[in-house]
Amino acid sequence: MMNRLDRIQGGFWGLLVGDALGVPYEFNGPEVLPPIEEIEFIPPEGFKRSYPSVPPGTWSDDGAQALALLDSLLSKGKMDAEDFAGRLLRWYEEGLWAVDGHVFDVGMQTADALQAFRSGTPAGRAGWVRPDGKGNGSLMRVLPLVLWHRGSDEKLVADSHLQSLVTHAHPTNQVCCALYCLWARRILEGMTTEESYKEAVNRLCSIYRGYPEHLRELEETVRPDEEPVSQGGGYVVETLNSVRLAMREYSYEGVVKAAIRLGEDTDTNAAIAGGLAGIREGASSIPKRWMEQLRGKDQARQLLNQLMEHLN
């Protein structure tokens, strides 16, 4: 029987490994991607890698921002938007939590929001720099909030909104982060994939009864009860659908490869799905060959050790 700490470690490493696995394949449609059995950190000969100068096994902005979030949570003992935004700015400008300190992938909205924050915009307002922006830049990093959090569902939802506001403030982004967090929390509690998803939807509907704008976004934009459809793109609702599709596979490896095979935003889809699959299957489910090839492990492990101490 898997224990909670094994699931938490699975989520932590599952996100980073999924991100790194997806990096070489980003921006490619499924028609040009290798067969699923050939998707590895080092793509097959002849495949033109995205970011050819980036060594295989390197996580991208997804992993670095997730680590920055966890670092902030452990340092402050709460979801502190100003502190988190400061750490994101250090990632953007100095390479904090990036492997080798090298930042090679930055979303346009994230860059704009961090520049606004640097210029004096409060962290809780910086994400409005593109009022209609609905990219997946806050969803990709939110999982550490679930791994760290000990509060109620209501507080988890509120904190998921707050971390999104820093770069992606539109209610659609907030709602997707909240739904994902409740879904992850229930998988962490041992529920099955579908049972946990349905329970998360029902719980979020209940929480949003006092927040009509967010409830409307959930029901009319996210449409969580509909069959998921995705072409792998970076629109936050499409990304959530990518994860729902990938999570139908029965192993960690199957989940992240399915997420990548959708094409386009391969690293983010695999990071978000990989975090969930890691929670569901446990840390031991992540292939050893991928853990061995993952770069930056020692740096990340220090933060994981702090998380384990926080939870004990």
**What is the per-residue pLDDT across 73-88, written as a single tens digit (0 to 9) for each?**
999 999 999 999 999 9
Bridge partners of residue 135, in order along the sequence? 235
109-140 residue pLDDT tens? 999 999 999 999 999 999 999 999 999 999 99
**212, exposed or middle or buried, with CB in 10 Å at 0-12, 13-18, 19+?**
exposed
Read off the pLDDT band of 2 (50, 70, 90): confident
Region 56-69: mean pLDDT is: 98
The domain total for the chain is 1
* pTM score, whole prediction: 0.97
164-202 residue pLDDT tens? 999 999 999 999 999 999 999 999 999 999 999 999 999
Joined together, the tokens standing for residue 23 give: 């990096």
pLDDT of residue 1: 66
pLDDT of residue 167: 98
pLDDT of residue 271: 98
- 3-class SS letters over 64-80: HHHHHHHHHHHHHCCCC
Backbone φ and ψ for 135, nearest 5 degrees, come out as -75, 175
Mean pLDDT of the chain: 97
242-278 residue pLDDT tens? 999 999 999 999 999 999 999 999 999 999 999 999 9
Count the alpha carbons within 13 Å of 308 in the hemisphere toward its beta carbon. 14
pLDDT of residue 272: 98
Residue whose C-alpha is closest to residue 279's, from 151, 192, 174? 192
- Answer yes or no: are the C-beta atoms of 251 and 259 closer than 8 Å: no
Joined together, the tokens standing for residue 188 give: 């962490």
Q: How far apart are CA 160 and CA 208, in angstroms?
A: 14
pLDDT of residue 205: 98
CB count within 10 Å of CB 37 equals 8
Question: How far lies 146's CA from each of 86, 127, 190, 230, 233, in Å?
Answer: 21, 21, 14, 25, 24
Region 58-74: mean pLDDT is: 98
Joined together, the tokens standing for residue 284 give: 């031991």
Domain of 78: which CATH number?
1.10.4080.10
- Whether the CA torsion 299, 302, 304, 310 is positive or negative: it is negative
For residue 83, the Cα-to-chain-centroid distance in whole angstroms is: 19
* Residue-range definition of the domain harbouring residue 98: 4-311
